[in-house]
């Protein structure tokens, strides 16, 4: 018992270290990209595609959420369905947010994204069944959190006063880029998880992995809420 | 198919997991994340690890620095003097200032232009080195000087005309008047 706890904490620290070693990327966009976005006029499909894709591949909060979502999905059809719901959710709010010029506080949105990770980790532990006696609709949950993730993307895009010239095309390109990035990231996550599933350790460590997921989500919540009050 | 086939953990495991997640998150936030991201360091571990540097530096850059004045041994004063430069002659009028001392000046001739060299010579220098701040021919000049080194600072005026020229010089700042040299 004591030994397994030790292992658990050791691994937790390791993964937590990996998670927080990249927070400088957080959801930020680097300076060169910033300059490009601020100065851009007109339609630039490929650059916006690239920025969207890069945003997803380096946006670890989206990735953590995806890990949670596909953790117990065994069939590729299910993976496809769930990811489609997530995509539908964040595409809607990304387009709506930017076109409608809706401003949502970035810290609060990112804190909710953190909560979505906590939610999914808890869900994966069977927490809702155990505590409340029922399982909330997992597809609906993915869709709703997708909506929040999209608002997060929209808020990030709005930080640069994008030129209205070619705005719709550029946002669409950005959104398609987001999907490409998500797909690429998903491939790696799926490969890793599917490989891991072949071993007994998958189920043995699933509790620990989802505990870590919750913990990572809580860190994001704490980080963003502190920023909300301090920044 | 609304649910996925996820194992439902025992209540004990659930409580343990949730607590562990919360405790780990709290520890990481307090010792690493908040110190690194916001320079908030409740435990002191963040600064021990050098993480608070990440954000304190940014703040230092963001705040405009006040000009370093260092120790100034001279008091603030204002002066107005009249200097006469004889025809065909050059004279020097100087002030003693500390490093980073401040001098505001304004001079004007009664009539005619003078060649001048506004410069400073470091205290204790024996090589004859001096640094020129401005060289021109004019009938007036105004501005301010923050000295790059401790030493005598002022003007060399050369009167190339046939008549002597009177200059009215007004100054204020932290200095001591040396006055006419030569």
Task: Please check the confidence at residue B145 and state whether its pLDDT lies above 50.
Answer: yes
Q: Is the pLDDT of residue B20 over 90?
A: yes
The pLDDT of residue B3: 46
- Identify which of A110, A116, A186, A115 has the alpha carbon closest to the alpha carbon of residue A153: A110
Residue B3 to residue A138, Cβ atoms within 8 A? yes
A124 touches chain B (CB under 8 A): yes
Mean pLDDT for chain A overall: 82
Residue A1 has pLDDT above 50, yes or no: no
Q: Mean pLDDT throughout B69-85? A: 86
Domain ranges of chain B: 8-55, 65-181
Q: Are B103 and B147 in contact (CB under 8 A)?
A: yes
- ipTM reported for the complex surpasses 0.95: no
pLDDT digits 0-9 by tens, B81-124: 999 999 999 999 999 999 888 899 999 999 889 999 999 999 98
Euclidean distance between CA atoms B140 and B167, whole angstroms? 9
A-chain residues near B22 (CB < 8 A): 215, 218
Quick check: A74 contacting B, CB < 8 Å?
Answer: yes
List, as ranges, residues 190-229 from A with C-beta within 8 Å of B: 203, 206-207, 210-212, 214-216, 218-219, 221-223, 226-227
**Region A181-205 average pLDDT:** 87
Say how far apart CA B102 and CA B175 lie, in whole Å: 8
* Alpha-carbon torsion, ordered A161, A170, A63, A73, to 10 deg: 150
Burial class (CB in 10 A: 0-12, 13-18, 19+), B54: middle
B29 to A125: CB separation less than 8 angstroms, yes or no: no
- Mean pLDDT (chain B) is 86
Q: Is A231 on the interface with B (CB under 8 A)?
A: yes
Q: What mean pLDDT comes out for the span A122-151? A: 90
Of B24, B25, B3, nearest to A126 (Cα)?
B3
First-last CA distance in chain A: 43
How far B33 CA sits from the closest chain A CA (Å)?
Answer: 7
With 50 as the cut, is the pLDDT of residue A24 above it? no
State mean pLDDT over B138-158: 92
A23 chain-B contacts, CB cut-off 8 A: 33, 36-37
Does pLDDT of A102 surpass 50?
yes
- The answer, yes or no, to whether residue B135 has pLDDT greater than 90, is yes
For range A24-49, the mean pLDDT: 66
A 139-178 residues with CB < 8 A to B? 139
pLDDT of residue A29: 56
Per residue in A60-97, pLDDT (tens digit) is 888 899 899 988 888 888 888 888 898 899 899 998 99
Report d(CA B140, CA B116) in Å as an integer: 10
Architecture (CATH level 2) of domain B65-181: Sandwich (2.60)
Tell me which of B1, B2, B5, B9 to substitute to probe the interface with A (most A C-beta atoms closer than 10 Å). Answer: B9
């Amino acid at each position: 018992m004591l030994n397994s706890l030790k292992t658990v904490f050791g691994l937790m620290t390791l993964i937590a270290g990996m998670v927080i070693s990249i927070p400088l990327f957080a959801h930020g966009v680097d300076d060169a990209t910033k300059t490009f976005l601020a100065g851009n006029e007109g339609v630039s499909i490929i650059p916006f595609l690239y920025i969207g894709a890069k945003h997803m591949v380096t946006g670890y909060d989206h990735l953590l959420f995806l890990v949670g979502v596909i953790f117990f999905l065994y069939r590729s059809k299910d993976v496809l369905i769930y990811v489609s719901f997530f995509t539908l959710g964040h595409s809607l709010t990304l387009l709506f947010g930017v076109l409608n010029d809706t401003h949502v506080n970035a810290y609060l949105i990112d804190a909710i994204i953190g909560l979505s990770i906590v939610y999914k980790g808890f869900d994966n532990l069977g927490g809702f069944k155990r505590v409340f006696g029922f399982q909330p609709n997992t597809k609906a949950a993915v869709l709703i959190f997708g909506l929040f993730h999209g608002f997060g993307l929209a808020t990030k895009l709005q930080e640069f006063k994008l030129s209205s010239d070619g705005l719709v095309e550029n946002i669409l390109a950005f959104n398609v880029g987001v999907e490409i990035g998500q797909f690429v990231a998903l491939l790696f996550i799926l490969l890793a998880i599917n490989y891991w599933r072949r071993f007994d350790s998958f189920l043995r460590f699933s509790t620990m992995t989802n505990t870590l997921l919750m913990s990572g989500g809580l860190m994001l919540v704490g980080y963003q809420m502190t920023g909300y009050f301090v920044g | 198919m609304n649910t996925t086939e996820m194992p439902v953990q025992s209540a004990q495991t659930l409580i343990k997991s949730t607590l562990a997640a919360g405790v780990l998150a709290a520890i990481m936030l307090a010792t690493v994340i908040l110190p690194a991201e916001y320079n908030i360091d409740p435990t002191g571990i963040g600064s021990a690890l050098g993480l608070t540097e990440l954000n304190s530096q940014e703040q230092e850059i963001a705040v405009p620095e006040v000009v370093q004045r260092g120790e100034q041994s001279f008091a603030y004063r204002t002066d107005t003097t009249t200097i006469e430069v004889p025809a065909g002659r050059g004279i020097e009028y100087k002030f003693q200032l500390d490093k980073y001392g401040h001098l505001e000046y304004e001079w004007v001739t009664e009539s005619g232009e003078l060649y001048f060299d506004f410069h400073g010579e470091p205290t204790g220098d024996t090589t004859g080195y001096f640094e020129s701040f401005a060289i021109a021919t004019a009938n007036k000049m105004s501005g301010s000087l923050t000295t790059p080194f401790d030493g005598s600072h002022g003007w060399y005026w050369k009167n190339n005309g046939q008549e002597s020229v009177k200059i009215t010089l007004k100054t204020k700042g932290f200095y001591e008047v040396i006055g006419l040299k030569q």
